[in-house]
Chains A and B, each alone.
Chain A
Amino acid sequence: MLKITKFIVQDLFRNWIILLYMIFLMAASFGFFMLEGQADKALLGLLNLSLLVVPMMTIIFSTMYYYNMYEFIVLMLAQPLKRKTILSSIFLGLCIAFGLALIVGLGIPMLVMNYSIASLMLLGVDLLLTFIFIAIALVAGIWTRDKAKGMGVSLLFWVYFVLIFDGLILLLMYNFSDYPIEKIILYITLLNPIDIGRILVLMQTQAAALMGYSGAVFNQFFTQGWGIALAFLALLFWTALPVFISFRLFHKKDL
């Protein structure tokens, strides 16, 4: 398995899109910290950007990559290799490549310019989001045979997590604004990894105070040890779920 993973990582690092992604992240990170005097504001800008770009980039690229690797998968399947091995190699390869791109592009500038808990948290969140959206991309790719359709499904997932989910929550809050729904909303946000990540990081910055009473409820939760642990656990669960689904789908898939 490690041999195939190694091959995939090498293959990915020859890919100019990943390099471009890394350079873009790096430019953006340095840019934010240099243009924005306040470290906290820069971090928030970076949070906005990375929560948008990281899931989008990973899911689109990973879906594409899965389809491009289709022949490779078939070739490997003709060898005495387990399906599990082949898929894990692809997943791991993508995780390593994107993870490294993120650590170099986002992590290093952030830790150089502003070494803080919030920075570490943002890096951790972005890493987990990377893994999650790679896994979702694999689900979309394995699920649909057609490349165009698969891309569509991936983009739909992305739009859902980045936009539609929040819209639905807003609608929910609007309709139940007379009730104390903060606690419920708190648990609903656990259903969206991007929201979990955003709030986790936000709570480490001064922006937390902006959020008023509901902020206080969230603050209590997301700054306590067990709250953070639960949030990260939720993110790990969010990684495990699509990974599990993709392996199930792949196990039964006709190639």
Chain B
Amino acid sequence: MLYKLLIGFIFFACSAEVLSAKTWHVKPKSDLSEIKKAVEMAADYDTVYIHNGTYFEDLITIEKPLTIIGVGKPVIDSNGGDEILIVASDNVNISGLTLQNVGVSFLKDRAAIRLVEVRNVVIKDNILKNTFFGIYLQKSSHCKVISNTIIGDAENEINAGNAIHIWKANNIEVIDNMVSYHRDGIYFEFVDQSLIRGNSSKYNMRYGLHFMFSNYDIYKNNIFQHNGSGVAVMFSKQIKMIENQFKDNWGGASYGILLKEISDGLMEGNIFERNTIGVLAEGANRIRISNNNFINNGKAINIKGNCLNNEILSNNFIGNTFEVLTNSKSNLNHFEGNYWGQYKGYDLDKDGIGDVPHRPVNLFALVTDKIPAANMLLHSFLVNSMEMAERMFPQMIPEHLIDKKPQIKPISHDSYQRTQ
């Protein structure tokens, strides 16, 4: 009896709450023309509609579960002032807003939307323009950042913020956002069990994705293009990187992706195209790099001597200037079954696998790694002939860095992609 009563009470309480939820309409030149006031007046679980217009407000703090919906793309303009929305309560939904012109501060990382120690918050379909930092999540969990467009106007790294900045969080989903012209497109620090999917991160000053001390995360189907340095994934473990595109990170110190001190990850079905370095691996262990396409990069993979037990399998290397570079004479990684564009061997038994193994390391790449000034000899006859000689009689290139089953034809990754 008591049990039944309890259930009944809970049901009543819930429905009372739902029933009592009110809606508030903020409109310019009406009785309720201030968002801050509406947020203040609203009760828990109320919905605040913000109608078309421009609102010059900042520091709107949301301390109760609310749904804020923009109708007809209302603009909230900080006018060079402080942060705009500060979410300090669980269960907040924010959508359909255009937030703009947050002032740059060197004392505080101002953001258009800041989430502070909250759960179940959804930020969706917003447009952020010139907001220093875009969406800033700290110590939060189970939040979603979906389909937002975040465009900065950063001109240099120092007074630029990150588009989506997440610090100490877990179970976050960052999906289908477009981020550009910030310092970093997406910034992850101490973020676990999270998903980054379908985002497009372009033209950021530093990294398209900056990823540190974060474990058990997945990022998938993202495009990282034309970023200053590319993507950095550092000090993390159990990361799955699937079907992303890393393109056009072309500059003296740029790369598609930097894998630094990371372990037990998977990197599959990605495309690396036109990067100075496709994959730069330092202290990366037990990563499986398979079924990727490396196309027209300067150096497809630069794998440092401190990388252990990585598997580089069934990738296509096409049109790269240098295929693999390392700074060590020994090799503790496994290369097998890749297609190498520079493979000069033959396949007499027609099994699709080259009869002689392939050494993907290029002598000149090694030389320039030791003597950077030697770069000026690139494409000289001396270098070309030295390379040819070295391929025939290896002296300097690591003897064991070898692909014993080089493919004769590029591997079709379609079959792989269908199973995903």
Direct contact of A and B (CB under 8 A): yes
Chain A residues packing against B (C-beta within 8 Å): 37-38, 41, 44, 47-48, 51-52, 162-163, 166-167, 169-170, 173-174, 177, 181-182, 185-186, 189, 194-195, 198-199, 202, 206-207, 209-216, 218
Closest 3 CB pairs of A and B: A211-B375, A166-B382, A210-B298
- State whether A163 touches B381 (Cβ < 8 A): yes
Closest Cβ of chain B to A186, distance in Å, is 8
Could you list 7 further interchain pairs (A-B, Cβ under 8 angstroms) beyond the known A207-B321, A212-B375? A51-B381, A177-B373, A209-B252, A210-B321, A211-B375, A212-B368, A214-B373
For chain B, residues 319 to 353, give those with C-beta under 8 angstroms from any C-beta of chain A: 319, 321
- State whether A166 touches B378 (Cβ < 8 A): no
Q: Does B385 contact A (CB under 8 A)?
A: yes
- State whether B372 touches A212 (Cβ < 8 A): yes
Contacts of A47 in B (CB 8 A): 379
Contacts of B368 in A (CB 8 A): 211-212
Over the window 362-389 of chain B, the binary record of Cβ atoms lying under 8 Å from chain A Cβ atoms (1 yes, 0 no) is 0000011011111111111111110000
Contacts of A166 in B (CB 8 A): 377, 380-383
- State whether A209 touches B298 (Cβ < 8 A): yes
Contacts of A212 in B (CB 8 A): 252-253, 368, 372, 375
Q: Does B229 contact A (CB under 8 A)?
A: no
Q: Does B219 contact A (CB under 8 A)?
A: no
- State whether B381 touches A162 (Cβ < 8 A): yes
- State whether A202 touches B378 (Cβ < 8 A): yes
In the bound complex, what is the Cα–Cα distance between A210 and B320 (angstroms)? 11
In the bound complex, what is the Cα–Cα distance between A200 and B371 (angstroms)? 21
Q: A199-B376, A212-B372, A214-B375 are in contact. Are A52 and B276 (CB under 8 A)?
A: no
Q: A38-B296, A48-B384 are in contact. Are A218 and B252 (CB under 8 A)?
A: no
Question: Across the two chains, which residue of chain A brings its CB closest to B322?
Answer: A210
In the bound complex, what is the Cα–Cα distance between A207 and B276 (angstroms)? 9
Q: A170-B374, A177-B370, A181-B373 are in contact. Are A198 and B379 (CB under 8 A)?
A: yes
Contacts of A206 in B (CB 8 A): 250, 274
- State whether B298 touches A185 (Cβ < 8 A): no
Contacts of B371 in A (CB 8 A): 170, 173-174, 177
Q: How many pairs of residues, A versus B, come closer than 8 Å at their CB atoms?
A: 95
Q: Does B254 contact A (CB under 8 A)?
A: yes
Contacts of A48 in B (CB 8 A): 379, 381, 384
Q: List 15 A-B contacts (CB under 8 A).
A: A41-B319, A47-B379, A48-B379, A52-B381, A166-B377, A173-B374, A177-B373, A182-B373, A186-B376, A194-B380, A207-B378, A211-B376, A211-B378, A212-B375, A218-B375
Contacts of A209 in B (CB 8 A): 250-252, 254, 276, 298
Chain B residues packing against A (C-beta within 8 Å): 250-254, 274, 276, 296, 298-299, 319, 321, 367-368, 370-385
- State whether B372 touches A213 (Cβ < 8 A): yes
Contacts of A194 in B (CB 8 A): 380
Closest Cβ of chain B to A176, distance in Å, is 8
Main SS of the interface on chain A?
helix
- State whether A169 touches B377 (Cβ < 8 A): yes
- State whether B375 touches A210 (Cβ < 8 A): yes
Contacts of A195 in B (CB 8 A): 376, 380
- State whether A44 touches B379 (Cβ < 8 A): yes
Contacts of B370 in A (CB 8 A): 177
Closest Cβ of chain A to B150, distance in Å, is 28
Question: Across the two chains, which residue of chain A brings its CB closest to B367?
Answer: A170
In the bound complex, what is the Cα–Cα distance between A181 and B380 (angstroms)? 19
- State whether A170 touches B382 (Cβ < 8 A): yes
Contacts of B376 in A (CB 8 A): 169, 185-186, 189, 195, 199, 211, 214-215, 218
Closest Cβ of chain B to A250, distance in Å, is 31
In the bound complex, what is the Cα–Cα distance between A206 and B252 (angstroms)? 11
Contacts of B384 in A (CB 8 A): 48
Contacts of A174 in B (CB 8 A): 371, 374
- State whether A198 touches B372 (Cβ < 8 A): no
In the bound complex, what is the Cα–Cα distance between A199 and B296 (angstroms)? 20
- State whether A215 touches B374 (Cβ < 8 A): no
Contacts of A169 in B (CB 8 A): 376-377
In the bound complex, what is the Cα–Cα distance between A167 and B298 (angstroms)? 23
In the bound complex, what is the Cα–Cα distance between A214 and B274 (angstroms)? 20
Contacts of B380 in A (CB 8 A): 51, 166, 194-195, 198
Closest Cβ of chain B to A177, distance in Å, is 5
